[in-house]
Chain A
């Protein structure tokens, strides 16, 4: 006891915050799993590329409508790491720039669907059994019944085709999953004694939801966001594969795969290279998500 107290006092004196201590511990657990670390490295690389793409690509002009017929259909080499396409544009440069748009769409989708889904889920979960809850969950389930890709396509074709609307389209298909998850967690949290206590003491509902419940579900939401990032990028790529979302000549990974198909199998790099990048990004976010899940769910115990 004495030593424990001394240690704790020492910790206070040194200004060690318990929150920082617990973060350090989480990082230790996370860093011990090589797959999680791989995921983190990939994701950091993707973010770096997305932010600095225009400045680091070897041929920035190839993002647009340049044609260099003389250089068309070159295989991967030291000059063109991933070869060139039918217009002689550098596939490697186009891939990096395409990565940027994928990531932006992913972030946009999360920025729309997470707040919407979580707020609805909190309300529906807290008022479980009441009319408002049933209404919210009914709409949620309705949206969940339609395949996300189709829902996104409908939205995209109804409005203008492009970046923003692709994101809105995917978000419309995505929020119900956050509502569902938040709803389930809130209903089980409602039975926790500390929530029962705050309810009995007459704490306001908004305060219970935001300051008692939300901190307990953030870790799960963050984990799901990371896992979803991969799926959203995949969906965005599928949409650009069929011509929705990012519009040519701006490069997008899905459209590059789709355009390259007609040149298979001789000019395989046109399809395979961007496909590998998609796989890598999705894998990176999934590994990171799994790693976060392990660390954060242990943390709760």
Chain B
């Protein structure tokens, strides 16, 4: 694998916080990468550290309070450290957030906010040219009545339209890597479908790399090629999206899929008993051990490492491959 060609490369990232009760070991050591024009999903539930990973990739994780150690975080081959790194991140990364209403400034018209971005990206053009670029951008996200939208304030738009504006703004920057943090969680189902289709189409057309972070498994399945499953700060399973959804290997992934209510009406599995372990003095073995049906002595003693399986999947489990009934 040629490292230079990676859109994002994170090696051995660890993040800790010091608080009253002790030290929060949020992420013990995580590596992930995104290839050019690859669409990667990041699945995880509340508090599993997925947003922390995303923030480190975009170089916006505040440190302190976070205590960060890493071997490397590189965006398009350039380390994110220092001023030069930050500039590279700004040039190469764009973000879409969960809540489209708080990522737009409520006191400025959409046109003003979009012009600001254009001016920083393409300085020294005439007003009319900027206007045309904005219309094109809104057009590319299939915005109905783009002229009217440009003259509106964010509150005058619906949630779906605001998210379209955010995507249009993210696309105006000619970036390589797009980070989408739960972009459809705040939207209604029928609108979510439209936004996911749109993201899918745009990312394919413009050959961008995408990280889609979500707890909605269906959304990840719909538009990503490869998926990372995170649990309590660790990556527990990596593989081609289609394969992971068809045959999950890690007990956590299996439990998660089973707990999701299905359209087939086959009832709801009882979920995964228990809770995410505390990040203060986390279990020294596998962090999933206390909730795992396969747990043995080995799991309580040593943390599993993310190991390659025969089918090209990577799973962090001492009992990977033993497809016991869960």
Contact = CB atoms under 8 A, between A and B. Distances in A.
A3 B21 CA distance: 16
Interface of A: 1-4, 25, 28-29
A3 B290 contact: yes
Majority SS at the chain B contact face: loop
18 contacts: A1-B273, A1-B274, A1-B275, A1-B277, A1-B290, A1-B291, A2-B290, A3-B277, A3-B278, A3-B283, A3-B290, A4-B275, A4-B277, A4-B278, A25-B20, A25-B21, A28-B20, A29-B20
Contacts of A25: 20-21
Contacts of A3: 277-278, 283, 290
A237 B21 CA distance: 44
Contacts of B291: 1
Nearest to A1: B274
B92 to A, nearest CB: 35
Contacts of B278: 3-4
B178 to A, nearest CB: 32
Contacts, number: 18
A1 B283 CA distance: 10
Nearest to A2: B290
Contacts of B274: 1
Interface string B275-307: 101100001000000110000000000000000
Contacts of A4: 275, 277-278
Contacts of A29: 20
A220 B130 CA distance: 50
A186 to B, nearest CB: 27
B300 to A, nearest CB: 10
Nearest to A26: B20
A29 B274 CA distance: 30
A294 to B, nearest CB: 14
Given A3-B290, A4-B277, 14 more contacts: A1-B273, A1-B274, A1-B275, A1-B290, A1-B291, A2-B290, A3-B277, A3-B278, A3-B283, A4-B275, A4-B278, A25-B20, A25-B21, A28-B20
Nearest to B289: A2
A1 B278 CA distance: 9
B87 to A, nearest CB: 35
Interface in B17-35: 20-21
Nearest to A7: B278
Nearest to A29: B20
Contacts of A1: 273-275, 277, 290-291
A2 B290 CA distance: 7
Contacts of B283: 3
Nearest to B21: A25
Interface in B177-227: none
A2 B289 CA distance: 10
**Most chain A beta-carbon contacts within 10 A, residue among B21, B275, B283, B290:** B290
A28 B290 CA distance: 31
A146 to B, nearest CB: 35
Nearest to A27: B20
A1 B20 CA distance: 21
